[in-house]
């Protein structure tokens, strides 16, 4: 019995491969790419599966937010509180810029799902910031 | 797109819990357990708060 336990304990466990810390310029370039295209930073680091899941999550949430007639906020200094909403929205990167360009984020307040859609759009941008920070930590060797 | 409040809540909880689990945990088993915990917590808290607010005259 002890022998079996020893064998089990000595069995090597699958450890995530640690990434060698990159220089700061490369890290910032990767993070910028990850901000523009959600999930891209993890894909560039070599975390394919994680990157694809992140991309799917953020893009699904963004598309659902637009589909639910959510509002995308511009940078508007006359409404100071809208700046926070803008910061949250712009975290989605290219999808935000494209949707703004195509006037897709006007927001229909009469739609029952307007509040949900707007919240989806905020949260997907904020999640993308967290994802980029995670990629930063991995690229700097702080996380396996 | 027409989603009920509960469907919107489910999608929201699923996406956010998946991202939180992948960001905070390293091992796949830990990620799965934490993701399920966060997902169920979202649902439980939302339902609890919904029932608490139900008798309020809003």
What are the sequence ranges of the domains in chain A?
Answer: 22-139
Average pLDDT over residues B51-57: 88
- CB contacts under 8 A, B 16-55 vs A, are 16, 18-19, 22-23, 26
Quick: pLDDT tens for B30-49: 999 999 999 999 999 999 99
Distance from C-alpha of A41 to C-alpha of A28, rounded to nearest angstrom: 10
Better-predicted residue by pLDDT, A89 or A11: A89
Banded model confidence at residue A108, pLDDT cuts 50, 70, 90: confident
**Cα distance from B23 to chain A (closest Cα, Å)?**
6
Cβ separation of A144 and B12 shorter than 8 Å?
A: no
Task: Find the CB nearest B1 among A67, A123, A143.
Answer: A67
A-chain residue closest to B9, CA distance:
A116
Distance from C-alpha of A17 to C-alpha of A15, rounded to nearest angstrom: 6
A61 touches B: beta carbon within 8 Å: yes
Distance from C-alpha of A106 to C-alpha of A85, rounded to nearest angstrom: 14
Distances (CA, A) of A120 to A42, A77, A131, B30, B35: 22, 23, 16, 26, 19
- Helices A114-139, A24-36: inter-axial angle, 10-degree rounding: 160
pLDDT at B20: 96
Given a cut of 70, whether residue A64 has pLDDT beyond it is yes
pLDDT at B56: 86
Within a 10 A sphere around the Cβ of A61, how many other Cβ atoms? Answer: 28
Cβ separation of A120 and B12 shorter than 8 Å?
A: yes
Given a cut of 80, whether residue B7 has pLDDT beyond it is yes
Distances (CA, A) of A65 to A17, A92, A93, A96, B27: 36, 12, 15, 11, 31
Cα dihedral A104, A110, A111, A112 in deg (nearest 10): 150
| Three-class DSSP category at B51 | helix
B11 touches A: beta carbon within 8 Å: yes
Cβ separation of A127 and B19 shorter than 8 Å?
A: yes
Distance from C-alpha of A38 to C-alpha of A61, rounded to nearest angstrom: 11
Size of interface A-B (CB pairs under 8 A): 46
Q: Which residues of A touch B3 (CB under 8 A)?
A: 64, 68, 113, 116
Q: Percent of chain A, pLDDT > 90?
A: 69
Chain mean pLDDT for chain A? 87
Given a cut of 50, whether residue A89 has pLDDT beyond it is yes
Q: Note whether A16 and A49 are within 8 A (CB).
A: no
B-chain residue closest to A68, CA distance:
B1
B10 touches A: beta carbon within 8 Å: no
ipTM of the complex: 0.87
């Amino acid at each position: 019995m002890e022998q079996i336990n020893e064998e089990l304990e000595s069995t090597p466990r699958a450890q995530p491969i640690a990434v060698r810390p990159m220089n700061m310029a490369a890290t910032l370039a990767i993070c910028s790419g990850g901000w523009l295209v959600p999930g891209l930073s993890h894909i560039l680091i070599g975390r394919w599966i994680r990157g694809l899941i992140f991309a799917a999550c953020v893009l699904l949430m963004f598309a659902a937010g637009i589909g639910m007639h959510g509002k995308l906020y511009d940078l508007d200094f006359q409404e100071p509180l809208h700046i926070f909403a803008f910061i949250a929205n712009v975290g989605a990167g290219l999808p935000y810029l494209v949707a703004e360009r195509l006037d897709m984020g006007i927001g229909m307040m009469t739609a029952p799902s307007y509040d949900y859609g707007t919240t989806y759009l905020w949260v997907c941008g904020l999640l993308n910031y967290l994802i980029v920070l995670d990629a930063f930590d991995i690229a700097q060797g702080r996380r396996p | 797109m027409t989603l009920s409040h509960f469907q919107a809540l489910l999608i929201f909880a699923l996406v956010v819990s998946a991202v939180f689990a992948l960001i905070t945990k390293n091992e796949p088993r830990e990620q799965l357990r934490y993701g399920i915990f966060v997902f169920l917590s979202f649902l439980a808290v939302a339902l609890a708060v919904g029932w608490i607010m139900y008798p309020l005259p809003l």
